[in-house]
Amino acid sequence: MEKVAAGEQLAIHGGPKVKTTPFGTGKRFGLEEAKELLEALEQNTLFYHFGGKVKQFLKEFNELYRVDYSVATSSGTASIHVALGAAGVTAGDEVITSPITDQGTLIGILYQNAIPVFADLDPHTYNLDPASIEARITPRTKAIVVVHLAGNPCDMDPIMEIARKHNIKVIEDCAQSYLCRYKGRLAGTIGDYGCFSTNDFKHISTGDGGIVTVNSGDVNDYYVTHAFADKNYNRFGDLFNRDLNYLAPNYRMTELQGAVGIAQLKKLEWICEQRKRYGDRITEGLRGVPGISVHEVKEGNESTYWFYMMRIKEEELTCTREEFSAALSAEGIPNTPGYIKTVVYLQSLFQQRHAYPGTHYPFDLSDTTYEEGLCPTAEAILETAIRLTVNEFFTEDDIEATIRAVRKVAEHYRK
């Protein structure tokens, strides 16, 4: 690692910028996708159940993940809702989840008229702390939605143990976590259900879309999950049935998305490998830098870095997080202070307890509270985090420049 010369002027103060060349970019879609799309159209149907593209997409996904069953959906949000519905989560149930996540994690919980309960996070992996999960369990707890944030796996062994002990389901939100591994096992195959997103910002894109893995290995669980994504319409053999029993949404994936998904899936391992290498390299380059704590991946796990989130230790620096971020931008390194604006429970839906206009239902079914200080570690993470972009199309030089710039800014502001 090349040393930053002591006293080198920051770009924000008129000194030379660390990064003067553009970051690497690349084409995410090409003739591979176009060929699949043309074949889909030539089928003369775009309905997943009649065509072959969604089926092939799932077959290849199942082979990659070594699971028996998965269901295609219209989004990551839909996937999580489907898993909750299949798990039997219903009105008045409590579902424990993370306060730092996309709202897609919460939407299905509330549409099932269940109540989100927030547990606190590990300060350096930014994932759910098993002890905090256990402390939030009540007789109403029906499920845990773990969020593997930014490609980094949650501590699944203790979480599964707690869930088995209390007879509750575990749903893995893998929207940001393709091919990430917990002690060698793929995230999304450990809980009862694994939920993926193929929206345009994720590791792979079908425009919008999602997948739910059904991990029990029981074909009946697969049928229930499949039906919940398709208006509770049962399309299998003797079970063929379109009588409405319980409510379920239409979250079907189309053949166009399935077609693009087939081509995208072939690129997934390379995308994840690149991101893993780049993210791990940033950690190696930033370890021990004054005022910085790295995005920690626990020993034995593998992250595929949907983004890289470091934290600023303001007590070791003479600048604020915002000043640090601005100085880093001036060095030519794009970055964002924080992630979501506040922890989820401080957002107005939870503060007002208004999931639906004109009523406090389903919140009034539970004693759960959403006050400031509920998850102090999660709140502190968002106040001190700086997010760096990790992208598969970046070059080694892009990553080295990122490390150099963070070190330069940290050295300048060290106390």
Footprint on this chain of ligand PLP (rule: CB under 6 A): 75-77, 101-102, 104-105, 147, 173, 175-176, 197, 199, 208, 210
Report the residue number, 105 or 304, with the smaller CB distance to ligand PLP. Answer: 105
Query: CA-to-CA distance for 383 and 351, rounded, in angstroms?
Result: 19
Question: Widest CA span of the chain, in angstroms?
Answer: 76
Report the residue number, 198 or 234, with the smaller CB distance to ligand PLP. Answer: 198
Residues 6+ apart with CB under 8 A from 75: 104, 197, 199, 208, 209, 210, 251
> Closest distance between ligand PLP and the C-beta of residue 231, in Å?
19
Residues 6+ apart with CB under 8 A from 108: 77, 78, 80, 81, 82, 83, 84, 85
Q: Which two tokens stand for residue 144?
A: 């845990």
Query: CA-to-CA distance for 102 and 10, rounded, in angstroms?
Result: 34
> Closest distance between ligand PLP and the C-beta of residue 178, in Å?
11
> Closest distance between ligand PLP and the C-beta of residue 70, in Å?
15
Report the residue number, 174 or 405, with the smaller CB distance to ligand PLP. Answer: 174
> Closest distance between ligand PLP and the C-beta of residue 397, in Å?
29
Report the residue number, 83 or 319, with the smaller CB distance to ligand PLP. Answer: 83
CB-based closest residue to ligand PLP = 76
> Closest distance between ligand PLP and the C-beta of residue 173, in Å?
5
Report the residue number, 75 or 303, with the smaller CB distance to ligand PLP. Answer: 75
Report the residue number, 101 or 254, with the smaller CB distance to ligand PLP. Answer: 101
Query: CA-to-CA distance for 349 and 355, rounded, in angstroms?
Result: 6
> Closest distance between ligand PLP and the C-beta of residue 106, in Å?
9
Query: CA-to-CA distance for 187 and 181, rounded, in angstroms?
Result: 6
> Closest distance between ligand PLP and the C-beta of residue 286, in Å?
24
406: part of which helix (H) or strand (E)? Answer: helix 396-413
Q: Which two tokens stand for residue 254?
A: 């189309």
> Closest distance between ligand PLP and the C-beta of residue 56, in Å?
21
Ramachandran angles phi, psi of 57, nearest 5°: -55, -50
- Give the 3-state secondary structure of 288-340: CCCCEECCCCCCCCECCCCCEEEEECHHHECCCHHHHHHHHHHCCCCEEECCC
Of the candidates 156, 125, 121, the one whose C-alpha atom is nearest the C-alpha of residue 136 is: 121
Report the residue number, 206 or 234, with the smaller CB distance to ligand PLP. Answer: 206
Residues 6+ apart with CB under 8 A from 17: 11, 330, 331, 332
> Closest distance between ligand PLP and the C-beta of residue 77, in Å?
3
> Closest distance between ligand PLP and the C-beta of residue 238, in Å?
33
Report the residue number, 176 or 232, with the smaller CB distance to ligand PLP. Answer: 176
Of the candidates 61, 14, 286, the one whose C-alpha atom is nearest the C-alpha of residue 189 is: 61
Q: Residue ranges of the alpha helices (H) in 167-315? A: 219-228, 255-286
> Closest distance between ligand PLP and the C-beta of residue 78, in Å?
7
CA dihedral 263, 306, 343, 322 (to 10 degrees): -140
Of the candidates 170, 106, 141, 200, the one whose C-alpha atom is nearest the C-alpha of residue 367 is: 141
Of the candidates 8, 18, 74, the one whose C-alpha atom is nearest the C-alpha of residue 212 is: 74
Report the residue number, 76 or 258, with the smaller CB distance to ligand PLP. Answer: 76
Report the residue number, 10 or 133, with the smaller CB distance to ligand PLP. Answer: 133
Report the residue number, 272 or 405, with the smaller CB distance to ligand PLP. Answer: 272
Cα angle: 145, vertex 66, 190; to 5 degrees: 25
